[in-house]
């Protein structure tokens, strides 16, 4: 199982749909947040079977972060009870964001706490929407994420990756986690 997390509108549902090559989950093109509950989508990547979990984004327009946390905790409890192994977590962030807003700082803080230090080596920090920025502008923002906002996580074994918006790129990202040992999150 792989969890897909990030602030609302980061492109979590879009990423999953590209990966499975169908409209498995609803994407939102409105200003309102879209995904309200966790959804599990089975996918086959090469010869591996994986369960992708689409989560409601933090900083949702309708619900508080604590409601969303409760929702994710509920899902993790069921997963643990059923003996489904967690391979890792993908955290999506839009490279088009011109500021690392407070909502992102807060979300990342919550995210770090959910994972716990031990699990950070199973975290993939992924930037999205590279088609909408000049490559050098994106690269400069990525460097700032690496040096500042994501430095702690990278120092503890998390990895960074770019999502280019297509299926092949999504498969490449998932594959990076499939080879890892399974983890249990602190939450």
Question: What is the contact surface with Mg ion in residues (CB under 5 A)?
Answer: 12-13, 34-35
Q: How many CB atoms lie within 10 A of CB 156?
A: 15
Q: Which residue from 5, 13, 41, 170 is in contact with ligand GTP, where contact means CB under 6 A?
A: 13
Backbone phi, psi, residue 133, to 5°: -130, 155
Stretch that binds ligand GTP, among 28-36, 73-81, 113-121, 143-151 (CB under 6 A): 28-36
Nearer Cβ to ligand GTP, position 132 or 147? 132
3-state helix, strand, coil in the chain (%, to 5): 45, 20, 35
- Check: CB of residue 52 under 8 Å from CB of residue 85: no
Binding mask 49-68 for ligand GTP (x = CB under 6 A): -------xx-----------
Among 20, 28, 45, 71, binds ligand GTP (CB under 6 A): 28
Give every CB contact of residue 160 below 8 A, 6+ residues apart in sequence. Answer: 124, 125, 126, 127, 142, 145, 146, 150, 154
Give the residues lining the site for ligand GTP (CB under 6 A): 6, 8-14, 27-29, 33-35, 56-57, 128-129, 131, 165
């Amino acid at each position: 199982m792989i969890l897909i997390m990030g602030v609302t509108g980061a492109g979590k549902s879009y990423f999953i749909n590209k990966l499975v090559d169908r409209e498995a989950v609803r994407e939102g093109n409105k200003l309102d947040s879209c995904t309200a509950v966790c959804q599990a989508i089975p996918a086959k990547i090469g010869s591996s079977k994986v369960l992708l979990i689409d989560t409601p984004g933090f900083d949702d327009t309708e619900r508080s972060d604590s409601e969303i946390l409760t929702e994710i905790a509920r899902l993790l409890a069921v997963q643990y009870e059923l003996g489904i192994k967690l391979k890792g977590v993908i955290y999506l962030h839009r490279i088009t964001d011109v500021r690392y807003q407070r909502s992102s700082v807060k979300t990342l803080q919550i995210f770090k706490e959910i994972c716990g230090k031990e699990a950070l080596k199973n975290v993939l920090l992924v930037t999205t929407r590279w088609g909408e920025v000049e490559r050098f502008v994106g690269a400069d923002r990525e460097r700032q994420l690496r040096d500042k906002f994501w430095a702690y996580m990278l120092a503890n074994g998390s990895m960074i990756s770019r999502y280019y918006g297509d299926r092949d790129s999504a498969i490449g990202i998932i594959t990076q986690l499939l080879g890892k040992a399974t983890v249990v999150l602190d939450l």
